[in-house]
Amino acid sequence: MINFVIREGLCDTAFIEENVSGFDDLAAAVAGFTPAYVADRADIPENQFIDAARLFATYGERRGMVNAGTGANFAMHGSLLEYLCLALTTICGRWQRAGEKVLRPNTLMPAFTAKAQPHPPYEGWGYGEKLRVRDLTDTVAGMPTAALADEILLEGDGQVKALICIGGNPMAAWPDQRKTLRALESLDLLVTLDTEMSLTSRLADYVIAPMMQMETPAMTMGSELIKYYTSGTGIPAAYAQYVPRLLDPPAGSDLIEEWQFFLGLTKRMNLDLWFVNFFGGGGGRFMESPPVVLNMNRDTDLSTEELFAQMCSTSRIPFDEVRGHPHGKIFDVDAVVEQRDPDCTARLDVGNAYLLAELSEVMLEDFAAARSDSAFPFRLIPRRSQNFMNSSGTSLAALHRGKPYNPAYMHPDAIDALGLQSGDSVRIDSPHDGVPAVLEADDTLRPDVVAMHHAFGGLPEEDAEFRSRGTNVGRLVPTDVDYDRITGLPRQGNIPVVVTALA
């Protein structure tokens, strides 16, 4: 799409000249991705691609951002993909201009002055602590979780010996489940904070029961923060809401809020627990306002309500005013994008050499050979369910409605060609491992695709219970073969698989 927009002269030239660097490098890097090449590689009609690209580039008055998300990122080159999304957004000039009303003003966060100017490039990776595996480092997205199992298993200086999971479920969600099991079982200490006995909690030394949503207060500050992580997202108005806790925990229970657990832990370890709220992007590398910094250990009996009040001590709309509107409110905030600073020389870099070199490698991939691999003729892709969020809710009958497993969805014609029927038990094998599953027909899929929800299934020795527990698709994914060189995220979509009847 970038190549098409450039070739057709659909760029915002004035915006590029004032705000962008690296345009010529980008144009050269995408030159080979012609509409004909894209149609062949993606196996889509060329005219549909052209229509989509032209629609985006010419739609409205600079409206529309480009976002990708997990499905696309799982296919392999997530960092490159997100960078190209920003590059396409940028060459089309899809950023706010001076005099326009700020689309997502802060409410419970501090007020900021929006200006029609770029932030300069900053380090996205390659700084801070370096991992011992795969040359991975800290990133603006955090430490590479996909390498954690290796860091637990690799002996020597720097070996991870303890893990605390807050609502996470590595045994269900992480790739390479067998490696994950070995890692978690080898820890000196595994603690989970969870509302149910998840797969990971079954392995834990301690399971801490936290309060649930109705037992804690809530506010919308977190929803405001989303805009700093994915362009075009967040609350599109000066909206804020605070909701008090509705229920007290059961009498005599030892439920605890997660932050209070960590506060108690740090006190017993004679450490300070700091709350630092960075109001800005880039992992806090640039900030629109000074961060709110709280030394939690000074407040021995701090309640969550009091903590929220301190977190919002510099909010644009006073916290007490927000609390006066129990159903939330869109506040009257007149925030306008200001002119560029006269001395601003920053530019948006769309020609990053490292990422464009990776794009050249993508061009050289032999996609035709991969498509014709008779040993693994299908491609497994991720799929979301409207009833579950990762592994949360998969055990609730009211949500799974009599289907406690995650089917292997396939096109009816593909099922017929295998001599199978919807509802049959099958085995799905990748080059790495294999899992049992239940077939289900879905005529919205391509005939060469298998789609499955993730974070289902039991422990590896419980495979025989796949109709009551589901299938762990992470078992099919190695962490150290195909992976993003920046984030370490392994290929978790577009996985070559073969489907056979389960003996």
- Output the DSSP codes for 287-323: -SSPPEEEEGGG-TT--HHHHHHHHTTT-SS-HHHHH
Q: What is the pLDDT of residue 291?
A: 58
Containing 487, the helix (H) or strand (E) segment is none
Residue 299's pLDDT is: 55
Residues 52 and 468: beta-carbon distance below 8 Å: no
| pTM, rounded to two decimals | 0.91
> What pLDDT, on a 0 to 100 scale, did the predictor assign at position 234?
83
CB 398, CB 388: distance < 8 Å: no
CA distance 132 to 14: 46
- Residue 365 phi/psi, 5-degree rounding, is -65, 140
Q: Tokens 């005599």 sit at which residue?
A: 252
The neighbour count for residue 17, using CB atoms within 10 Å, is 9
pLDDT tens digits along 124-180: 899 888 999 999 999 988 899 999 999 999 999 999 999 999 989 999 999 999 999
pLDDT on residue 155: 97
Please report the pLDDT score of residue 49 as a whole number: 97
> DSSP characters for 171-184?
HHHSSSHHHHHHHH
- Compute φ and ψ for 242, nearest 5 degrees: -125, 135
**Cβ burial, residue 300 (10 Å; 0-12/13-18/19+):** exposed
Q: Determine the pLDDT at residue 284.
A: 47
Structural domains in the chain, sorted by start:
2-95 (3.40.228.10), 96-343 (3.40.50), 365-501 (2.40.40.20)
Q: Which two tokens stand for residue 331?
A: 């506040």
* Tens digit of each residue's pLDDT (9 = 90 or more) over 415-458: 999 999 999 999 999 999 999 999 999 999 999 999 999 999 99
What is the spatial distance between Cα 417 and Cα 411, in angstroms, rounded to a whole number?
10
- Least Cα distance to 172 among 379, 406, 398, 381 occurs for 406
pLDDT below 50 — which residues of the chain? Answer: 280-284, 286
Given a contact cutoff of 8 angstroms between Cβ atoms, the answer to whether 30 and 358 are in contact is no
